[in-house]
A = this chain, B = another copy of it.
């Protein structure tokens, strides 16, 4: 017989109680899905289980990047103090800077009014963009480069 643990989480917004039945046989994916409603009560991950996350430089206020997060990515960010995201193509959680060393120390996490977007205020080591720019938003929509290049990607990503 499976061992079952029941956790209760109260939403601070609606006051509703969410109940989760954990069983030892649950896969990581199932646990992540079952946690959808159990994550921070101010967040609403909807049907897809992920929401957009903006990283903004806590000091200069420059917007550095946009990626997606799952409840697990947010949990790891809170746990480690370093920004974690969810890769839709690789279907896995990743830590920003794990390869490049260009980590993001998260000073504060904010949520939007609907709880379906999140904001990391970060201290960015090196540049945020894999192209070598400080910010991923280094171009205008017409292709003009307006951002600052801060490292050579060929030296960082081998």
CB neighbors of B among A62-101 (8 A): 62-63, 65-66, 74, 78
User: Is A151 on the interface with B (CB-CB < 8 A)?
Assistant: no
- Chain A contributes a number of interface residues (CB within 8 A of B) equal to 39
Interface string of A1-33 (1 = CB under 8 A from B): 000000000001100000000000000000000
Residues on A facing B (Cβ under 8 Å)? 12-13, 40, 42-43, 52, 54, 56, 60-63, 65-66, 74, 78, 108-114, 117-119, 129-131, 133, 136-143, 146
Supply 23 A–B pairs (Cβ within 8 Å), ascending by A. A12-B143, A13-B142, A13-B143, A42-B139, A42-B141, A42-B142, A42-B143, A43-B141, A61-B62, A63-B119, A65-B112, A66-B117, A110-B138, A110-B141, A110-B146, A111-B137, A111-B141, A112-B136, A112-B137, A113-B131, A117-B136, A117-B137, A118-B141
